[in-house]
């Protein structure tokens, strides 16, 4: 048998009926063992797939087959046989054949498993993380990680086709203005000083443009000391980072939009994908219609302002609210939701969200039903129905007050209404660009103006707009050339046309309370570069982990990450973070001081 490879002649996904009669070698893991009346069957699994192998008492390897258990790593040699027609397994590529075992070699026996692989039952996450090498053998997780590789490969190929070049940026760098906490790295050669791991390659990719390169991209590792969420990794994550010179906003959209669309179409598994160019929605419009700047457009419901219909009405609470010009009353349309049972369910939901409830009107062939309709009268009820485009059997829900205080819960209510009424198109990837973000926002905790998004974005209107903003209200009204890409309620990416002029950047930071000395100290490298002929440029960054998460149909980013940290930011597999030994600390001129525990009682 010298013509056979030492360990295998085929993978566990290769063999078909065309191989009938051949002598083959396979190697892999024992997925499960079954005893059918004295005939032993093994589902043998490797990276590529599964093959059924069997041995009966006439097989010289029968006694060896009797000894193996789940997740043993073995090699078998045997003959390919066609299965009977009624025993063909159409769920796997090798389902037409099986291999009769003549020789079995144990390559790696397995002790009792701390984590079951076969069947993929729910299991505590701490055990899954500690034994991730077993967790990764599970079919679903293994498939997700393989998909991740294929998606990133597709993204790279499409970016190259679009004329982008892959350039690497430093990992040891200076602290970033991205807004999250940095991971700091102490310097041995410079005692008392620290590098920072990059939260994003923001400054470097802008300097690449100033350096005369064009159309940069990389799938970049980024590091942020943030708490984990289902859709956000603790510690590190990867993003498709890109930047272009001599562009306006639409040029960026036209360059990267097709890459995103075509990548999703390739891996959408039958789901529809928005066509490029993606819809553009101003930030203020998104908050009004959807209650969020991350709208899920699989839900087509749009909220509307109905304040005027309640002014001077008999519904005193809303009538009083409507008199304040800073207040609004918004309606959530609910097609087919005009039943008392559904309205009561939504009222209960609102109370669980911390609201006293939600006003509602149920529309019928007459003027509408419910206390609210009775109080405002048939004429106003009819006008609301006409504005919302509703018909008999529909309903509408109402929230009132200062928009900033209620629009987030209104946005969640919009999604709950659509979900419960079956109005979501779950078989779709719906994209949009959110544009025209505010340059600044109000920091309530510190009672001051602060940057609302990326501080390096170009303000719309340039220097003249900044110089014309005297009051806080005027500053808060400044818009930026800033945009987010949103899909199915998730922010997939963020970007902007960059501020490439030194005087505009100094003024932009000044409006947020940063003096020129602070700007020079923190961003002097980039400011100095802008003195020497900086081109107009812009770009974006897209979360690779979230892209894979959506394509894999999971809501947890750890299900598409090979070796993630847990929710507490710990690596249970290798045991980090851990204390450094004295010699390491001495070399770094450091000593640690543990926090003082508060005494209780």
Coil vs helix vs strand at 404? helix
Q: For 228-281, what is each residue's pLDDT tens digit?
A: 777 888 889 999 999 999 999 999 999 999 999 999 999 999 999 999 999 999
Question: What is the rounded average pLDDT for all residues in the chain?
Answer: 93
Tokens of 28: 């892999």
Q: Is the peptide bond before 277 cis (omega within 30 degrees of 0)?
A: yes
Asked if 78 contacts 23 with a C-beta cutoff of 8 angstroms, the reply is yes
Q: For 356-383, what is each residue's pLDDT tens digit?
A: 888 999 998 877 898 999 999 999 999 9
* Banded model confidence at residue 521, pLDDT cuts 50, 70, 90: confident
Asked if 432 contacts 297 with a C-beta cutoff of 8 angstroms, the reply is yes
Q: How far apart are CA 29 and CA 547, in angstroms?
A: 31
Q: How far apart are CA 465 and CA 473, in angstroms?
A: 13
Residue 178: what pLDDT? 57
Percent of the chain with pLDDT over 70: 98
Residue 594: what pLDDT? 84
Smallest CA-to-CA distance from 527 within 497, 495, 498, 505 is with 505
- pLDDT(94) > 50: yes
* Banded model confidence at residue 571, pLDDT cuts 50, 70, 90: very high
Q: For 392-447, what is each residue's pLDDT tens digit?
A: 999 999 999 999 999 999 999 999 999 999 999 999 999 999 999 999 999 888 88
Position of tokens 């295998």? 8
The stretch 159-171 carries a mean pLDDT of: 97
Q: Which residues pair with 41 in a beta bridge?
A: 34, 54
Q: Which residues contact 213 (CB under 8 A, 6 or more apart)?
A: 165, 167, 245
Asked if 183 contacts 189 with a C-beta cutoff of 8 angstroms, the reply is no
Residue 446: what pLDDT? 85
The stretch 15-28 carries a mean pLDDT of: 96
Ordered domains of the chain (ranges, CATH): 17-108 (2.40.50.140), 121-278+539-555+564-601 (3.30.930.10), 299-424 (3.30.1360.30)
The secondary structure element, H or E, covering residue 346 is helix 340-352
Q: How far apart are CA 142 and CA 22, in angstroms?
A: 30
Q: What angle do CA 39, 42, 48 make, to 5 degrees?
A: 150
Contacts 24+ apart (CB under 8 A), 280-288: 280/253, 280/432, 280/433, 280/435, 281/432, 281/433, 281/434, 281/435, 282/434, 282/435, 282/436, 283/434, 283/435, 283/436, 283/437, 283/438, 284/436, 286/434, 287/403, 287/407, 288/330, 288/403, 288/407
Q: How far apart are CA 468 and CA 532, in angstroms?
A: 27
Residue 598: what pLDDT? 59
Smallest CA-to-CA distance from 68 within 84, 45, 86 is with 45
Residue 519: what pLDDT? 85
- If you ran DSSP here, which 8-state letter would residue 229 be given? B
């Amino acid at each position: 048998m010298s013509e056979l490879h030492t360990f295998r002649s085929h993978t566990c996904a290769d063999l078909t009926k065309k191989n009938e009669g051949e002598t083959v070698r396979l190697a892999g893991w024992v997925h499960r063992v079954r005893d059918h009346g004295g005939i032993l069957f093994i589902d043998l699994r490797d990276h590529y797939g599964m093959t059924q192998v069997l041995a009966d008492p006439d097989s010289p390897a029968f006694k060896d087959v009797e000894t193996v258990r789940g997740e043993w790593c073995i090699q078998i040699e045997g003959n390919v046989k066609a299965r009977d027609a009624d025993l063909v397994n159409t769920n796997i590529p090798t389902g037409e054949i099986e291999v009769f075992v003549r020789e079995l070699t144990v390559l790696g026996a397995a002790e009792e498993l701390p984590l079951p692989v076969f069947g993929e039952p729910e299991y505590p996450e701490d055990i899954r993380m500690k034994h991730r090498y077993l967790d990764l053998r599970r079919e679903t997780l293994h498939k997700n990680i393989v998909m991740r590789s294929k998606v990133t490969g597709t993204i790279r190929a499409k970016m190259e086709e679009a004329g982008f070049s892959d350039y690497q940026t430093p990992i040891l760098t200076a602290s970033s203005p991205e807004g999250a906490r940095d991971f700091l790295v102490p310097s041995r050669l410079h005692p008392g000083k620290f590098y920072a791991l990059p939260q994003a390659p923001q400054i470097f990719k802008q300097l690449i443009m100033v350096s005369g390169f064009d159309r940069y991209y990389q799938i970049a590792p980024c590091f942020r000391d943030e708490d984990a969420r289902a859709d956000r990794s603790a510690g590190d994550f990867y993003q498709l980072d890109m930047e272009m010179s001599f562009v306006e906003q639409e040029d960026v959209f036209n360059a990267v939009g097709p890459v995103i669309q075509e990548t999703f179409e390739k891996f959408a598994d039958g789901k529809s994908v928005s066509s490029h160019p993606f819809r553009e929605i101003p930030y203020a419009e998104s908050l009004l219609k959807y209650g969020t700047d991350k709208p899920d457009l699989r839900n087509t419901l749009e909220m509307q302002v109905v304040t005027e219909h309640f002014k001077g009405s008999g519904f005193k609470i809303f009538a009083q609210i409507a008199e304040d010009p800073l207040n609004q009353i918004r309606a959530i349309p609910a097609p087919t939701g005009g039943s008392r049972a559904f309205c009561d369910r939504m009222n209960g939901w609102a109370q669980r969200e911390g609201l006293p409830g939600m006003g509602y009107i149920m529309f019928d062939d007459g003027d509408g039903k419910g206390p609210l309709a009775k109080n405002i009268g048939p004429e106003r009820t009819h006008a609301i129905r006409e504005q919302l485009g509703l018909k008999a059997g529909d309903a509408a829900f109402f929230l009132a007050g200062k928009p900033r205080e209620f629009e987030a819960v209104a946005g969640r209510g919009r999604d709950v209404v659509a979900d419960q009424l079956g109005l979501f198109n779950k078989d779709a990837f719906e994209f949009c660009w959110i544009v025209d973000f505010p340059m600044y926002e109000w920091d309530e905790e510190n009672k001051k103006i602060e940057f609302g998004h990326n501080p390096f974005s170009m303000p719309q209107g340039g220097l003249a707009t900044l110089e014309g903003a005297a009051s806080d209200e005027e500053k808060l009204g400044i818009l930026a050339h800033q945009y987010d890409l949103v899909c199915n309620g998730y922010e997939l990416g963020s970007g902007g046309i960059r501020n490439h002029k030194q005087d505009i950047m100094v003024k932009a930071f000044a409006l947020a309370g940063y003096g020129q000395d602070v700007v020079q100290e923190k961003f002097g490298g980039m400011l100095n570069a802008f003195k020497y002929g900086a081109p107009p440029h812009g770009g974006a960054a897209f979360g690779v982990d979230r892209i894979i998460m959506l394509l894999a149909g999971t809501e947890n980013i750890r299900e598409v990450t090979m070796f993630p940290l847990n929710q507490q930011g710990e690596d249970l597999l290798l045991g980090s973070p851990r204390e450094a030994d004295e010699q390491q600390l001495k070399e770094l001129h450091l000593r640690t001081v543990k926090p003082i525990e508060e005494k209780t009682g």
